[in-house]
Amino acid sequence: MPTGVYLVIGFIIAATMSLLLTPAVKALAFKIGAVDKPNARKVHTRIMPRLGGLAIYAAFAIGLFALLPFLPDAMLSGYDKRFIAALLSGGTIIVLIGALDDRFELSAKVKLLGQIAAACVVVFGFGIRISLLNIPFGATIEPVAEWLAIPLTILWIVGCTNAINLIDGLDGLAAGVSGIAIATILVMAVIMGSEPVMLLSAPLLGGIIGFLRYNFHPAKIFMGDSGSLFLGFSLATLSMLGFKQVTIVSFVTPLLIIGVPLSDTFFAIVRRVVNKRPIFEPDKGHLHHCLRELGFSHRGTVLIIYGIAAFFGATAIFMSTVVPSSSANWVTFVVIAVLVFILQIGAELIGIVDKSRRPVLNLLARLRMKAGISTRSK
């Protein structure tokens, strides 16, 4: 049977199971007290059930395991099987930690230890790690790559896991952005012929789409940390492992795939440092908060961020499939420079770091003023 048929079947099974399981998870959340109460920092105004991540995880697992017995042996290599086992094992730990937090509100330290444990399962339990570092415009340094691979892989997994959690502030936002990122990975995997990534991405995307039926504004259930942490972990492993050899240059691709949550996390850290506040202290300065302050509706804000995520995804696909390898380094450098400039301008316009500090915009204004004076003097 063609691979595409497996993908469609996996997607449909997972989407259907997500649609069926989410109402049951909602009832369970109310029964055990896994609920989110409104406060000054949150947008919702009524008690909402959490634990939605359980429905996404269960739907994904059912869709995947429904396919595995029917796959030809030649489709998956030993590495591919380790790849799948690593995601499932680490993902299970993450979902359990997230579900406990949804019910008991664990401390940040406990959650971080759980995330590190899940990352260590991937790295040490299954030997999956970033195996090669390549200095742009230079030669590979193998000894450095060897001792940096483990901490860099753990840092990447933990960082991405938390990035999705930080943007989970509006109905359907984290699920939709994650779905766009997973769809991007799926498209790239199809183009590059990475069958294990396709087989994991299709049911995961189905689980997200089915859950969005209940999570898009006005939401009936939140995914909670069980969902945001699981999706972040899945994105980290899929974007890192999906193409087997990850270099600093090609690492731009996974950075672009999850560009929205990563950039929002980066600006949150900068904002708290600038304002001399604890890095892990929650605030209302995230991208979605800033857009809401500018007057956009709840749905409008979410759709704008979907568009930004889709732009990042399209750029990632372009970088990986269209740009010739002979010019990849230079194109990568130019793309990074342009995107950083655009992100900085956007951050200053909406005030995501500081409402009054606009260094780049002020510099551009001064340059325009000088150019205008110079033109008039002539």
Residue 23 is predicted with a pLDDT of: 97
CA distances from 104 to 34, 36, 167, 325 (A): 8, 11, 21, 50
**What token pair was written down for 340?**
């950083």
CA distance 64 to 58: 10
Residue 106 is predicted with a pLDDT of: 92
pTM of the model: 0.87
3-state secondary structure of 226: helix
CB atoms within 10 A of CB 331: 17
Residue 134 is predicted with a pLDDT of: 42
Residue 246 is predicted with a pLDDT of: 39
Backbone phi and psi for residue 134, each to the nearest 5 degrees, phi listed first: -125, 120
CB 169 within 8 A of CB 36: no
Query: Domain limits of the chain?
Result: 3-244
Going residue by residue through the chain, which has 378 residues, state the pLDDT in tens, using 9 for 90 and above: 677 888 999 999 999 999 999 999 999 999 999 998 876 556 656 889 999 999 999 999 999 999 888 888 777 777 788 888 999 999 999 999 999 999 999 998 999 999 999 999 999 988 887 755 443 333 444 544 567 778 888 998 999 899 898 888 889 999 999 999 999 989 888 888 888 888 999 999 999 999 999 999 899 999 999 999 999 999 988 877 544 443 444 556 777 888 888 888 888 888 888 888 877 777 777 888 888 888 899 899 999 999 999 998 888 888 777 665 555 567 777 877 888 888 888 888 888 877 777 888 888 888 888 776 666 665
CA distances from 72 to 64, 87, 235, 242, 294 (A): 14, 21, 26, 20, 53
Length of the chain: 378
Q: Which residues contact residue 203 at a Cβ distance below 8 angstroms, ignoring those fewer than 6 apart?
A: 10, 11, 13, 14, 59, 60, 62, 63, 64, 67
Residue 45 is predicted with a pLDDT of: 65
Q: Check residue 219 and report its DSSP letter.
A: P
Looking at the DSSP assignment, which residues form a beta bridge with residue 35?
49
